[in-house]
Amino acid sequence: DAKTTQPPSMDCAEGRAANLPCNHSTISGNEYVYWYRQIHSQGPQYIIHGLKNNETNEMASLIITEDRKSSTLILPHATLRDTAVYYCIVRLYSGAGSYQLTFGKGTKLSVIP
């Protein structure tokens, strides 16, 4: 799986948009970009994933650059409950190979009142 690079920490004011960047410059054509978050040693929570196009769901939006070498997770109106470690993961989606997730250190997002 391709490696990802994320800033170790970020702060965001409550009610503002949180924009979390991720670099994945060696991503392959058959790999998705996934985002998970982990709140205080609970099980990781799935947020969103995408291949090429931008994606939006009830939790967040995912913006993937045209060359697919980087992406940004956007939490439109951050709340205190969004304080967590956010993981950007590149994972195979088809073909022979292994489908486990490879977690890096993630970004610790702190939402400030």
Partner 1 sequence: EAGVTQSPTHLIKTRGQQATLRCSPISGHTSVYWYQQALGLGLQFLLWYDEGEERNRGNFPPRFSGRQFPNYSSELNVNALELEDSALYLCASSRDRSETQYFGPGTRLLVL
Selected binder of partner 1 within 29, 42, 53, 58 (CB under 8 A): 42
DSSP-assigned letters across all residues of 2-19: ---B--SEEEEETTSPEE
For partner 1, give the closer residue by CB, 9 or 15: 9
17-36 binders of partner 1 (CB under 8 A) = 34, 36
Positions 46 through 65 that interact with partner 1 (CB under 8 A): 46, 49
41: contact with partner 1 by CB under 8 A: yes
Among 9, 54, 56, 102, indicate the residue that binds partner 1 (CB under 8 A). Answer: 102
Contact between 88 and 4 (Cβ < 8 Å): yes
Radius of gyration (C-alpha) of the chain in whole angstroms? 14
